[in-house]
Amino acid sequence: MLLNFRHKRFLARKLPVLALITLVWLFALIGIVRAIKLPPDTSAAFIQTSGPNASLGVGDFYTNVEGDNDTHFLRVNVPCTWPGDQPITFALFDPEIQEPDPDRTIEPPFADDEIRDDTNTTVHMPPDTNIQFADVTTFTLYALNNQGQIDHTVVGPVAFTPSLTNSTNGLWVEMVTFTPNTPNFGCGLYGLSAETANNDDNAWKLSVSYDPDCTVSLPGNPGTCAGVGQAQSTALNNGNEQDDADGIPGTGDDLLISAVKLSYQHENANSNTLTCQIFYHLVYPDDRPVVTFHNFDLDTNNSTGSTSTVTHTSPTGRVIVGAGSANRSWNNAPTPPQIPPVRGGDVIQVAPDEVGLWQTEVCVRRDNQYIFEGQRDEVVFLQAPPAPNLVVSKDDGRTIVGQNDTLNYTIGFSNIADTTPLVPAVPGAAEQVTLTDTLPPNTTFVNCQVNSPFTGSCVENPTGIVTARINELVVAGASGSVNLTVQVNANAPTGFLTNTVRLDYVGSIIALQYPPKTATDIDEVQPQAATATPTDTPPPTATATATPTTPAPAPTSDSTNTPEPTATTPPGSTPTTPPGSTPTPTSPSSSPSRGDQGATNPTPVPPPPAAPGIASIPAPEPTPTGVLYLPETGYRPVTPQDRSTQHLFIGFGVLLGVALGGLLFWRIRRHRA
């Protein structure tokens, strides 16, 4: 009885621990998915949009009359795998210029507005006094076309006038909530412009997410998150927001924000402490052999920015110390300074294996507004974007074959981004997955097929080249296979049959063509046994004894994968410049966009046509109505392989947690009794 009692007491002590372990395990299975924000919550940075008449020395080249005299501009990619009836909420933090600023010792998000009078002097008086100088701010949301140009306005311009009674200061405010099926909206690429009317600095942030608290909310037809107030702000930022539709990373339905023209400032309780922001930006093969990275107004020539640092890291891990920029200047700009300022930049030689996702860390003190641009006319991310990581295998289960033998190859492919992500990227899905098998000499194609749960085509064309194209997205953690049957020719000579397959694929959110992976199978062809033919011969006078020979050892099948992939040239070319500074700006440059979405198709939205040598991606559901379909986002049916196992584990985890909790409650009640 003593042993039994001690055992029960041990269980009672351990039950809370077991319950906690169960909950941790359950959350690990589900994954923590939050809203996509720019800048992210973990950052000390915020966007700061200056008016055109602020001093250029403030740090905003893009909006200044002595610089680009343009608006701030960013892009949001809504993938066409997003369900047609699932809402997407665009929310702005602190979009109005107002004092006092949010307490820098309590939170992010941070936002430090700066109000200037008619002489461009910063005023720090109470809100009821300096509000007379506060500028109106304006935000406009656009649908972009296949060149990344503005197609039409979907929301706005939305003006925020400084107010003492209905202030957005320190609050999240809904701009719009829509579904891809909402008329005038859809899936595809959106552009958001921000303007400040005169000479103030507006500090703000953007959040884009599926927020279950928010119903569809359009101008003139408000939803549950519309309006200004603490209740709405709490609902927009209470932690239940998702940046992808199904809450599972790597399934190709991720929302993505990229910066085109923005300036930043950091907040910190200590004005002398450096805080850092990592920027992620892409280098393509056609950018080689030299790239130039730009930053503006880090103030390295005065006390504000004398300790600022810039550090670039290539995909191979090579670290390059960059040059900071002086006041009112680009880094390494020609001297003497010119108006408008002329770009200089960090000029870097790029090796072939350094094509892909670069990181640049910028460290500054508080109150130092600056720009990090990367390469000119390329987008920049403030959170690592998703990327797939595919591998391939090939085997026929044999090493020795003969003439006329039939060989049945199994070609496997897997997206291992869930377990082996391409750091610093997060798990992503792949599309346009293509397997190209070059048949060895002295063999003949018989047939091939793509196996369930995937579908696709598999043909020999031209002779000796077999190509299989996968229709669906290959999500992180998914695997598939192709069966290929060939026959060894009757006159095949002895020797080795070497059969290599090549795997090509493209990222589904960022349309990057990754370097191919390969796998090889090697068999040895041995001669058929000779058949004796009787002939009339004289009686032998001697008997010869044959000594058999031992064949050389046959090599085993070899399946290899090339090193970790780096990005290569995606469809499309450079991203475009943003709209002008008026409430309805002109379209950006006509160059097709690249980096955060690839090419799109004009409105109305047909399924994308098949390109030569590339399988057409199935038309997504829902059909976009106003924003244009992106070829790099395809429809992926939810297969049992994608979901059933995970749902089974989640259900089991919930039941186990409930059971353990109930048993603990019963033990406590019994012990007290």
User: pLDDT-based confidence at 281, cuts 50/70/90?
Assistant: very high
3-state secondary structure of 16: helix
E-only strand ranges, 121-255:
137-144, 150-160, 172-178, 188-196, 201-209
The CA distance from 358 to 371, in Å, is 17
Other Cβ atoms less than 10 A from the Cβ of 26: the count is: 17
Spatial strand order of the sheet with 188-196 comes to 150-160, 137-144, 188-196, 72-78, 256-261
Task: Output 242 or 355, whichever has higher pLDDT.
Answer: 242
Task: Please state the rounded mean pLDDT for residues 47-64.
Answer: 97
**Residue whose C-alpha is closest to residue 441's, from 412, 463, 473, 460:** 463
pLDDT of the residue at 567:
35
pLDDT tens-place string over residues 323-341: 999 999 999 999 888 899 9
418-441: average pLDDT: 94
Token duo for residue 632: 């790099």
Longest dimension (CA), the chain: 129
Quick check: helix, strand or coil at residue 44? coil
Q: Which of 179-193, 363-377, 514-528, 590-604 has the lowest mean pLDDT?
A: 590-604
The pLDDT tens digits of the residues spanning 125-145 come to 777 778 899 999 999 999 998
Residue 31 has pLDDT above 80, yes or no: no
- 182, 188 in Cβ contact below 8 A? no
The secondary structure element, H or E, covering residue 311 is strand 309-313
Cβ proximity of 345 and 296 under 8 Å: no
What confidence category does residue 285 fall into, taking pLDDT thresholds of 50, 70 and 90?
confident
Distance, CA of 111 to CA of 439 (rounded, Å) = 62
**Per mean pLDDT, which of 19-28, 147-156, 431-440 is the most reliable?**
431-440
pLDDT for residue 173:
97
Percent of the chain scored above 90 by pLDDT?
A: 61
Instruction: Give dist(CA 101, CA 207) in Å, integer.
Output: 19
Q: How far apart are CA 518 and CA 562, in angstroms?
A: 7
Task: Report how far Cα 83 is from the mean position of its chain's Cα atoms.
Answer: 18
pLDDT at res. 335:
86
Angle at 26 between CA 23 and CA 27, to 5 degrees: 90
**How confident is the model over 49-57, as a mean pLDDT?**
97
Contact by Cβ (8 Å): 478, 414: yes
Look up residue 641 and give its two tokens: 């392989």
Is 156 strand, coil or helix? strand
For 390-404, what is each residue's pLDDT tens digit? 999 999 999 999 999
What's the CA dihedral at 270, 302, 318, 348 to 10 degrees? 150
Q: Are 193 and 579 in contact (CB under 8 A)?
A: yes
The phi, psi pair for 485, rounded to 5°, reads -115, 130
